[in-house]
Chain A
Amino acid sequence: MLLELKDLEVGYSKKIVVHGLSMGIDQGEIVALIGHNGAGKTTTLKCILGLLQPTRGKIIYKGGDITGYSPADKVRHGISFLPQERFIFPELSVRENLDIGAYTVEDDAESTIERIYQLFPILNERARQRSSTLSGGERRMLGLGMILLTKPQLLLLDEPSLGLAPVLVKSFMEMLKNIREEFGTSILLVEQNVKQAMEIARRVYVMKMGRIILEENASTLLQRDEWWDLF
Chain B
Amino acid sequence: MDYVIHLIILVLLYSIVAVSLNLLVGYIGLLSVGHAAFFGIGAFGSGLLAYYLKVHFLWGMLFGAVIAILAGVLVSIPALRVKDEFLVLLTIGFNMVVFGFLVTQQDLTGGRWGKFGIPVLSFFGISLSTPAKALPVIFVFSAVCFAISWRLTHSPFGRVLKAIRDDENAARSLGKNILKFKVLVFIIGAGMAAIAGSLWAHYHAYVEPRAFTVAESMFLLALVVIGGSANLWGSVLAAFLLITIPEVLTFIPGAETGMVPISAVRVAIYGALMVAFMRFRPKGLLPEHRAILTKNNMYVPIPAEERDKILQLDGTLSSPSSNGNKLVAPLQVEGVSKYFGGLKAVDNIAFSLPEGKITALIGPNGAGKTTIFNLITGFLKSDGGTISLRGLNITNQPPHRINHLGLVRSFQEVRVFSNMPVLDNVLVACGRQRGEQLGWLFLRPWKVAQDERENRYRAMAYLDIFGLAERAKILASELAFAEQKLLMLACLLATRANVLLIDELVSGIDPGSIDRVMSLVRQLKNLGKTICIIEHNIDVVKNVADMAYFLSEGKVIAVGTPSELMANPELTKIYFGV
Q: Are any A and B Cβ atoms less than 8 Å apart in their complex?
A: yes
Q: Is A66 an interface position by the 8 A CB rule?
A: no
Select which of A14, A163, A196, A208 is within 8 A of B577 by beta carbon: A196
Per the CB 8 Å criterion, the residue count for chain A at the interface is 25
Q: Are A228 and B538 in contact (CB under 8 A)?
A: yes
Q: A14-B481, A15-B481, A192-B364 are in contact. Are A38 and B507 (CB under 8 A)?
A: yes
Q: A36-B538, A193-B577, A231-B538 are in contact. Are A163 and B508 (CB under 8 A)?
A: no
Q: Is A220 an interface position by the 8 A CB rule?
A: no
Chain A residues near B575 (CB-CB < 8 A)? 192, 227
> B38 to chain A: closest CB distance in Å?
38
Q: Are B365 and A16 in contact (CB under 8 A)?
A: no
Q: Are A227 and B576 in contact (CB under 8 A)?
A: yes
Q: How far is the CA of A108 from the CA of B566 in the complex (A)?
A: 53
Q: How far is the CA of A14 from the CA of B510 in the complex (A)?
A: 12
Q: Are B576 and A38 in contact (CB under 8 A)?
A: no
Q: Are B365 and A38 in contact (CB under 8 A)?
A: no
Q: Is A195 an interface position by the 8 A CB rule?
A: yes
Q: Is B337 an interface position by the 8 A CB rule?
A: no
Q: A209-B511, A228-B538, A228-B566 are in contact. Are A37 and B576 (CB under 8 A)?
A: no
Q: Is B319 an interface position by the 8 A CB rule?
A: no
Select which of A17, A37, A162, A227 is within 8 A of B578 by beta carbon: A227
Select which of A14, A19, A194, A209 is within 8 A of B576 by beta carbon: A194
Q: Is B323 an interface position by the 8 A CB rule?
A: no
Q: A37-B536, A209-B511 are in contact. Are A162 and B366 (CB under 8 A)?
A: yes
Chain A residues near B414 (CB-CB < 8 A)? 15
Q: Is A159 an interface position by the 8 A CB rule?
A: yes
Q: How far is the CA of A38 from the CA of B536 in the complex (A)?
A: 7
Chain A residues near B507 (CB-CB < 8 A)? 37-38
In the complex formed, the residue of A with least CB distance to B567 is A228
Q: How far is the CA of A209 from the CA of B511 in the complex (A)?
A: 7
A1-46 interface with B by 8 A CB criterion? 14-17, 19, 36-39
Q: How far is the CA of A208 from the CA of B481 in the complex (A)?
A: 18
Q: Are A38 and B504 in contact (CB under 8 A)?
A: yes
Q: Are A36 and B537 in contact (CB under 8 A)?
A: yes
Q: How far is the CA of A159 from the CA of B577 in the complex (A)?
A: 13
In the complex formed, the residue of B with least CB distance to A85 is B366
Q: Is A229 an interface position by the 8 A CB rule?
A: yes
In the complex formed, the residue of A with least CB distance to B563 is A228
A136-177 interface with B by 8 A CB criterion? 159, 162-163
Q: How far is the CA of A72 from the CA of B481 in the complex (A)?
A: 31
Q: Are A14 and B365 in contact (CB under 8 A)?
A: no
Q: Is B312 an interface position by the 8 A CB rule?
A: no
> B175 to chain A: closest CB distance in Å?
26
Q: Is B105 an interface position by the 8 A CB rule?
A: no
Q: Is B572 an interface position by the 8 A CB rule?
A: yes
Q: How far is the CA of A182 from the CA of B507 in the complex (A)?
A: 40
Q: How far is the CA of A196 from the CA of B480 in the complex (A)?
A: 38
A181-231 interface with B by 8 A CB criterion? 192-197, 208-209, 222, 227-229, 231
Q: Is B321 an interface position by the 8 A CB rule?
A: no
Q: Are B538 and A229 in contact (CB under 8 A)?
A: yes
In the complex formed, the residue of B with least CB distance to A195 is B577
Chain B residues near A227 (CB-CB < 8 A)? 572, 575-576, 578
Chain B residues near A192 (CB-CB < 8 A)? 364-365, 575-576
Chain A residues near B566 (CB-CB < 8 A)? 228
> B572 to chain A: closest CB distance in Å?
6
Q: Are B537 and A209 in contact (CB under 8 A)?
A: yes
> B554 to chain A: closest CB distance in Å?
12
> A159 to chain B: closest CB distance in Å?
7
CB-CB contacts of B472-514 with A at 8 A, as 1s and 0s? 0000000111001000000000000000000010011011001
CB-CB contacts of B521-535 with A at 8 A, as 1s and 0s? 000000000000000
In the complex formed, the residue of A with least CB distance to B574 is A193
Q: How far is the CA of A159 from the CA of B365 in the complex (A)?
A: 10
Q: A14-B481, A15-B481, A228-B566 are in contact. Are A195 and B578 (CB under 8 A)?
A: yes
CB-CB contacts of B367-408 with A at 8 A, as 1s and 0s? 000000000000000000000000000000000000000000
In the complex formed, the residue of A with least CB distance to B572 is A227
Q: How far is the CA of A96 from the CA of B42 in the complex (A)?
A: 55
> B255 to chain A: closest CB distance in Å?
50
Chain B residues near A196 (CB-CB < 8 A)? 577
> A186 to chain B: closest CB distance in Å?
23
Select which of A15, A197, A228 is within 8 A of B572 by beta carbon: A228
> B416 to chain A: closest CB distance in Å?
10
Chain A residues near B514 (CB-CB < 8 A)? 209
Q: How far is the CA of A15 from the CA of B481 in the complex (A)?
A: 6
Q: Are A38 and B508 in contact (CB under 8 A)?
A: yes
Q: How far is the CA of A46 from the CA of B538 in the complex (A)?
A: 25
Q: Are B536 and A193 in contact (CB under 8 A)?
A: no
> A68 to chain B: closest CB distance in Å?
25
In the complex formed, the residue of A with least CB distance to B510 is A16
Q: How far is the CA of A49 from the CA of B473 in the complex (A)?
A: 40
In the complex formed, the residue of B with least CB distance to A222 is B578
CB-CB contacts of B314-332 with A at 8 A, as 1s and 0s? 0000000000000000000
With a 10 A CB-CB cut-off, give which of A162, A192, A208, A222 has the most chain B CB atoms. A192
Q: How far is the CA of A14 from the CA of B414 in the complex (A)?
A: 10
Chain B residues near A36 (CB-CB < 8 A)? 536-538
Q: How far is the CA of A226 from the CA of B470 in the complex (A)?
A: 42
Chain B residues near A17 (CB-CB < 8 A)? 508
With a 10 A CB-CB cut-off, give which of A37, A39, A163, A197 has the most chain B CB atoms. A37
With a 10 A CB-CB cut-off, give which of B366, B480, B566, B577 has the most chain A CB atoms. B577
Q: A36-B537, A228-B566 are in contact. Are A193 and B366 (CB under 8 A)?
A: no
In the complex formed, the residue of B with least CB distance to A226 is B566
Please, could you name 22 A-B residue pairs with CB atoms under 8 Å apart, sorted by A? A14-B479, A14-B481, A15-B414, A16-B481, A19-B510, A36-B536, A38-B536, A162-B365, A192-B364, A192-B575, A193-B577, A194-B577, A194-B578, A196-B577, A197-B577, A208-B537, A209-B537, A227-B576, A228-B538, A228-B572, A231-B536, A231-B538
| 4 shortest interchain CB distances as A-B pairs | A195-B577, A37-B536, A38-B507, A193-B577
Supplied contacts A197-B577, A208-B537, 12 more A-B pairs, CB within 8 Å: A14-B480, A36-B537, A38-B507, A38-B536, A38-B537, A162-B365, A209-B511, A209-B514, A227-B572, A228-B566, A228-B572, A231-B536
A-side residues, CB < 8 A to B, are 14-17, 19, 36-39, 159, 162-163, 192-197, 208-209, 222, 227-229, 231
B-side residues, CB < 8 A to A, are 364-366, 414, 479-481, 484, 504, 507-508, 510-511, 514, 536-538, 566, 572, 575-578
